[in-house]
Structure 1
């Protein structure tokens, strides 16, 4: 059995949807897929993507990303928490799972999250350009810290297991030093919306040894303080130089 990982497949783009549709229906029957968010902003398309993956993989484990919680005209007056609940329903009906999974000595735990500005305060440029500030709707009076707290609470209880290897995954970054130094300073204004350091506390509370994340579209495998962090974002069609455009095996028995 292999555990394969990918994130940010953005099947709103026909080229990305074509890649998904072209995945083998035979090669992955014994594989587990870790899908770390940002599949599609429209619920019907998200459902279609998850159904296609569930037909190809033994198990599909999923956490939503920020794009998956965008609220469009078809979502009525609901906010992004309502969209999250709808995503939960769609995932379940499509054959994917947003719950912890275990087989033998391996446990895989999805971690919900958001960004809480613990990586920095957003400036005026970010507030004007970051689509989430317009496409996500939260209950009145809730700030980024409150939204992140609400999702992190859904991850509890968090208990380490002495008899299992724990692999965790999230869409958002659990620590800012996962952004490589090679990233130009002109892009670092995005730091505040990348994730939350509180997520890393949850990873370590679970005794996680390997964590898969998405969101940044900066693919890498790196160790920090005894935990290995892996990003394998598929990315937008134009992002050919920084993305593998393929599944990545992160664990094998």
Structure 2
């Protein structure tokens, strides 16, 4: 129920990783009254454990007017998943969990803002992985895809699931994805040894999509490096909560990105 006391605010958050108890407790302790008029964009990586994913989404959905969600790579891990199946089936289960608690993965107009989720995956458009990355990157073991699907096929599959809609005339558009839409969002201060991760950070497909929607703001996650920067007329925001030890690169708080 809306209080009617405040204009709607739009908050961004990603990479909450509630597998860590400190992160889960932060979610549980969020105010039950401060955000009843507000929207939360949760840009993926909640948990690979279905019960924790559901608890987190349900808790947030009870505290915000609307929660929008796109799954991240961790959310689709199936390694050790008692339910079995591959990561496409896991995605279907995640979508069911989102719907069951009242959160959303579909485009929606609220106030002046049109919210557009952009599903995706990395497709090596940021570079090819070297052998070290092939060994180190957990997704290559924790995600499981049909035998014929390579990362580019996975990215194309999720891209095809995005609704083919256009925002109503006069709307202000906020798009959001888990994966990065452009590689130059990585700041220059990131050490060279960490740049081996570039191939698995995102996809230029997402950038093409958000430009097609004439997005004013794009919220993303995945990198765990907080950013709030305007590039070529679009404001890009990463508000990562991150792992408990990542206090220098993650703000560990809700970030208001818009009002209306």
In the TM superposition, what is the alpha-carbon distance from 1:72 to its structure 2 partner? 3.2
Q: 2:122 aligned with 1:115, yes or no?
A: yes
Q: 1:89: which partner in 2?
A: 96
Q: Offset of 1:243 from its aligned partner?
A: 1.2
Out of 167, 173, 182, the position equivalent to 2:174 is: 167
Instruction: Within 5 Å, give how 1:147-226 maps onto structure 2.
Output: 147-226=154-233
Q: How many residues align?
A: 253
Aligned to 1:55: 62
Match of 1:68, SS state, is: helix
Q: Secondary structure of 1:4's partner?
A: strand
Q: Which of 239, 242, 249 is residue 235 of structure 1 equivalent to?
A: 242
Q: Counterparts of 2:134 and 2:98 in 1: how far apart (Å)?
A: 30
* Secondary structure at 1:74 match in 2: coil
Summarize the Cα distance change of 1:28–1:104 in structure 2 as closer, same or farther, 3 Å threshold: closer
Q: Aligned-pair RMSD on alpha carbons?
A: 1.0
Structure 1 portions without partners, runs of 5+: none
Pair 1:102 & 2:109 matched: yes
Partner of 2:153: 146
Normalised by the length of structure 2, the TM-score is 0.95
1:215-241 per-residue CA deviation (whole Å, 9 max, x = no partner) reads 001101111111110000000000011
Task: Say whether the 8 Å CA contact 2:79–2:141 is kept in structure 1.
Answer: no
* C-alpha displacement of 1:55: 1.1
Gaps of 5+ in 2: 1-7
Which whole-Å CA distance do the structure 1 matches of 2:180 and 2:78 have between them?
A: 22
Q: CA offset at residue 17 of structure 1?
A: 0.4
